[in-house]
Amino acid sequence: MRNERKYKILTLLSMVLAVLLLGTCLREPFRMNAAEARQHEEYVLKGAKTYAENCVQCHGPRGEGVIGMPLNRADYRLDYTTPAGRDVYNLLFSTIQMGRAGNPDHFQWVRVKTPEGKDAWMSYSTMPPWHTAYGGPLDEDYVKALTLFIMEPTPNGDQWLLVGGENAPIPAPTLLQPGESEIPLPDSNVDAATNAAAKALLRDLGKSMCLTCHTIGTRGAKIGPDLSQVGSWGVDQAFLEQWIKRADNSKGNAMPHDERMPIYWSANRATKSDKVDLTTKTVSQGPYYMPAFEGRLTDEQISTIVKYLLGLK
């Protein structure tokens, strides 16, 4: 009887152990999936913070593209585990990792003719390498995080709302330092009167607001592009004046979409030929975050600021 009882107890314990093992095996895929989901979310948040700290100046706070190409494109927002997603992942990762050549024979932006005979902007801007193996400041984990952040397959590119938020704060502007009576700004290659008038407007943050978003020289913010070398971008007086007046469309009179910034990027980035392929457009799908200054600044004030900016090289 005693042996029979022991046998029954051992059999029961074995059955309990088997059930527990079966439950663990059945639960393991769900546990692994949950762990992978948490890790992916951490990568996206890390990528958003890295983007806010390093990328907004060229690509915009919502990935809309400025002097760098737009990144908030629907064809980038793919599941990276799918075949199409892997192709996009490899493209973005390698570009962030190694950078991409611009065109030393051209300005960053140039006017070109479309196949329809219309004027358009083209960007030849250089993408610097960001991976430490190629001279950049980021290790492989950060490059992966940036790539996954850009690719996060949200319906409307909602991951871009993280940039500037509490999870990925954009650095605060650097303006007056202790002991300074005015914000130091670089001298521009313009006449003395224009130089002085433009600096006064730029220092008046309640009027021009430029330094609350942009860096000029050593001072300003990192929300918009660094304006310290606008004169080497290749843009002209008329374009910049119109951009400052009405880049934003809150009043319904914004610059035409294709006029607001370059619409062609990747395919012709490193070409040195005058014959470039303009059949494929790469355009931003998001709104622009440059406010309209028409009505806030006079035409004369806008012209003065633009002359100063174009003299910075």
Q: Is the confidence at residue 31, as pLDDT, over 70?
A: no
Q: Which amino acid is at 4?
A: E
Q: How confident is the model at residue 144 (pLDDT cuts 50, 70, 90)?
A: very high
Q: Is the confidence at residue 23, as pLDDT, over 70?
A: no
d(CA 117, CA 312) in angstroms, rounded, equals 32
Burial track 175-190 (b if 16+ CB lie within 10 A, e otherwise): eeeeeeeebebeebeb
d(CA 78, CA 96) in angstroms, rounded, equals 18
Mean pLDDT computed over 287-295: 82
d(CA 172, CA 23) in angstroms, rounded, equals 51
Mean pLDDT computed over 43-48: 96
Q: Which residue has the higher pLDDT, 183 or 10?
A: 183
What is the pTM for the complete model shown? Answer: 0.81
Distances (CA, A) of 224 to 61, 86, 257, 271, 291: 7, 31, 18, 27, 11
Q: Which residue has the higher pLDDT, 308 or 279?
A: 308
Q: How confident is the model at residue 18 (pLDDT cuts 50, 70, 90)?
A: low
Mean pLDDT computed over 131-154: 97
Q: Is the confidence at residue 124, as pLDDT, over 80?
A: yes
d(CA 102, CA 266) in angstroms, rounded, equals 10
d(CA 5, CA 244) in angstroms, rounded, equals 90
State residue 231's pLDDT score. 93
Q: What is the pLDDT of residues 205-245, one digit of tens each?
A: 999 999 999 999 999 998 888 999 999 988 899 989 998 99
Half-sphere exposure in the Cβ direction for 139 (13 Å, CA): 2
